[in-house]
């Protein structure tokens, strides 16, 4: 048995999140922080889950630490044409985030965070 076809249709919110999508095109990663309690969000949220106040944008640090990673060999629909790739969980001073990792993964390694236009990337230093 090869598997069961699975069709997923995601709707990615854009209205209000233009800053995030535009920043990826500039190689940057932006999150949001609550204007009242200061909670930080990545992926960005327009309103705080803790207190309901609005949020404001901040640029996520370009430096982080690799917490863990996963090498994807069985690709999801839409990624069948990719070589095996590595998704990492990285801690910055503001938020934890997931990124496409380049380089030999090593837990605890320092990484440089950026974006390739469509997604968050990180590179082992």
* Residues in touch with Zn ion (CB under 5 A): 34, 36-37, 39, 48, 50-51, 53
Please give the structure tokens belonging to residue 52. 């309901």
Query: How many Cβ atoms are within 10 Å of 108's Cβ, its own excluded?
Result: 7
State in angstroms the smallest separation of the CB of 46 from Zn ion.
12
Nearer to Zn ion, 57 or 82 (CB): 57
Yes or no: say if 61 and 94 are a contact pair by the CB < 8 Å rule. yes
Nearer to Zn ion, 32 or 86 (CB): 32
Yes or no: say if 55 and 41 are a contact pair by the CB < 8 Å rule. yes
Helix then strand then coil, in percent of the chain rounded to 5, is 5, 40, 55
Nearer to Zn ion, 40 or 105 (CB): 40
Q: Could you tell me the maximum CA-CA distance found in the chain, to the nearest angstrom?
A: 54
Nearer to Zn ion, 53 or 98 (CB): 53
């Amino acid at each position: 048995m090869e598997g069961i076809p699975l069709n997923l249709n995601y709707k990615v919110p854009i209205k209000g999140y233009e800053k995030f999508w535009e920043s990826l095109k500039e190689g940057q990663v932006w999150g949001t922080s609550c204007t009242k309690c200061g909670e930080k969000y990545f992926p960005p949220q327009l309103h705080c889950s803790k207190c309901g106040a609005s949020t404001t944008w901040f640029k996520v640090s370009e430096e982080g630490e690799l917490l863990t990673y996963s090498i994807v060999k069985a690709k999801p629909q839409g990624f069948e044409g990719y070589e095996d790739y590595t998704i990492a969980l990285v801690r910055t001073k503001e938020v934890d985030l997931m990124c496409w990792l380049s380089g030999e993964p090593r837990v605890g390694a320092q990484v440089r965070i950026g974006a390739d236009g469509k997604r968050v990337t990180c590179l082992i230093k």
